[in-house]
């Protein structure tokens, strides 16, 4: 896990023009992008800010979880990070658990000085805090195949003192892809029910409360379905924790109260692949109430075939 400390970010707040680049493989990270865009309207922490959403999905029909192995995933993400440099970001926010677990293994992470914040620590922190508040509760960590296989979130929770028998990990293969097509679709409900069935078996017959952690930025678009599905399978209270909100808020917590009367905010979404209308309509409709500007930017996204090479 790589997370830039506040000192590395502090210099941003003395600049007249700041570029914040938010990246994910797909559309899940738009949740974080939209929260930041919305909050900048009421808390203009920069005089002028360019918000860029960089879709790191490498191929039209293959995302990171479908790549051959970990070495290929790291190589492809390295290429995407090099592509991000063209936009001259002052800060990169990795709004994706899969990409976050890859970051420290990239050549970019060892070579570049651009401040980078990943989402892993936010997820670990909110689960840790809740398990401290409720010492009998158990946690179910949901993520993609790559995220769960990395074992990063579970191992960090154990390092913080959480007993391993309180943590269940559950990979939800293909769920992110289906959520992009429609967060409330029959396919999404079916996949969530399958994942919850598997997790509930691991939980056994415990009567404790259950914390369900969404360690894929896409999953928050279907959080109510996830909560209701798990609640049907356990007797304790189910709480869903989504690190997207805390990651978005972290940018504003770093300011030490810096504020301005207004700000000029430019939004841009770029993608190497073509998003079909079904995906754009599905996600823009969810984003619209939070940030109409983000929803519009998605509808007007820029297709850049040579966005990055690998």
Q: Give pLDDT, residue 5.
A: 46
Q: Give pLDDT, residue 96.
A: 96
Split at pLDDT 50, 70, 90, the class of 28 is very high
pLDDT in tens, 257-279: 555 667 799 999 999 999 999 99
Q: Give pLDDT, residue 263.
A: 78
Q: Domain total for the chain?
A: 2
Same domain membership, residue 185 and residue 80: no
The single-letter DSSP state of residue 62 is: B
Cα(123)–Cα(120) distance, rounded to whole angstroms? 5
Q: Give pLDDT, residue 179.
A: 97
Same domain membership, residue 290 and residue 201: no
Split at pLDDT 50, 70, 90, the class of 256 is low
Q: Is residue 269 part of a domain?
A: yes
Same domain membership, residue 188 and residue 150: yes
Q: Is residue 310 part of a domain?
A: no
Same domain membership, residue 28 and residue 175: no
Same domain membership, residue 254 and residue 237: no
Q: What are phi and psi of 193, to 5 degrees?
A: -60, -40
> Does the pLDDT of residue 1 top 50, yes or no?
no
Cα(134)–Cα(47) distance, rounded to whole angstroms? 42
Residue 261 vs residues 47, 142, 257: alpha-carbon distances, Å: 9, 40, 13
Split at pLDDT 50, 70, 90, the class of 255 is low
Cα(131)–Cα(299) distance, rounded to whole angstroms? 40
**Mean pLDDT estimate for the chain:** 93
Same domain membership, residue 264 and residue 191: no
Q: Is residue 308 part of a domain?
A: no
Q: Is residue 1 part of a domain?
A: no
pLDDT in tens, 113-170: 899 999 999 999 999 999 999 999 999 999 999 999 999 999 999 999 999 999 999 9
Q: Is residue 309 part of a domain?
A: no
Report percent pLDDT > 70 for the chain: 95
CA 211, 213, 218 angle in degrees (round to 5)?
145
> Does the pLDDT of residue 309 top 60, yes or no?
yes
Same domain membership, residue 143 and residue 95: no
Q: Is residue 237 part of a domain?
A: yes
Q: Give pLDDT, residue 214.
A: 98
Q: Which residues have a Cβ under 8 Å from the Cβ of 150 and sit 6 or more positions away?
A: 101
Q: Give pLDDT, residue 2.
A: 40
Same domain membership, residue 99 and residue 169: no
- Last residue in a domain, options 244, 264, 290: 244
pLDDT in tens, 86-99: 999 999 999 999 99
pLDDT in tens, 53-87: 999 999 998 899 889 999 999 999 999 999 999 99
Range of the domain at 235: 120-244
Of 14-18, 96-100, 257-261, 306-310, the range with the lowest mean pLDDT is: 257-261
Domain with residue 270: its CATH number is 3.40.50.1860
Split at pLDDT 50, 70, 90, the class of 40 is very high
**What tokens were used for 84?**
């991000």
Cα(120)–Cα(99) distance, rounded to whole angstroms? 10
Neighbours of 110 (CB within 10 A): 8
pLDDT in tens, 156-197: 999 999 999 999 999 999 999 999 999 999 999 999 999 999
Q: Give pLDDT, residue 204.
A: 84
């Amino acid at each position: 896990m790589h997370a830039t400390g506040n000192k590395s970010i502090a210099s941003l707040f003395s600049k007249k023009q700041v570029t914040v680049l938010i990246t994910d493989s797909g559309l899940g990270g738009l949740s974080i992008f939209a929260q930041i865009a919305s909050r900048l309207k009421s808390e203009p922490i920069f005089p002028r800010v360019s918000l860029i959403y960089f879709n790191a999905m490498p191929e039209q029909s293959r995302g990171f979880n479908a790549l051959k192995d970990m070495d290929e995933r790291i190589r492809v993400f390295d290429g995407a990070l090099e592509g991000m440099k063209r936009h001259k970001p002052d800060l990169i926010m990795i709004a994706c658990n899969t990409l976050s677990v890859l970051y420290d293994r990239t050549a970019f992470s060892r070579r570049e000085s651009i401040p980078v914040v990943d989402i892993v620590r936010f997820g670990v922190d909110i689960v840790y805090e809740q398990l401290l508040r409720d010492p009998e509760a158990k946690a179910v960590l949901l993520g993609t195949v790559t995220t769960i296989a990395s074992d990063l979130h579970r191992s960090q929770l154990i390092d913080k003192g959480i007993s391993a028998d309180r943590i269940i990990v559950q990979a939800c293969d293909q769920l992110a892809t289906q959520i992009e097509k429609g967060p409330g679709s029959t396919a999404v409900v079916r996949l969530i029910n399958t994942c919850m069935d598997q997790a509930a078996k691991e939980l056994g017959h415990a009567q404790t409360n259950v914390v369900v952690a969404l360690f894929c930025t896409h999953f928050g678009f279907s959080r109510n379905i996830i909560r209701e599905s798990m609640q049907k399978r356990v007797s304790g209270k189910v709480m869903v924790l989504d690190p997207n909100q805390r990651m978005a808020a972290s940018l504003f917590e770093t300011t030490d109260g810096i504020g301005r009367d207004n700000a000029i905010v430019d939004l841009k979404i770029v993608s190497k692949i073509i998003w079909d209308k079904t995906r754009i309509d599905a996600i823009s409709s969810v984003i619209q109430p939070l940030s109409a500007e983000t929803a519009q930017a998605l509808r007007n996204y820029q297709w850049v075939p040579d966005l990055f090479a690998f």
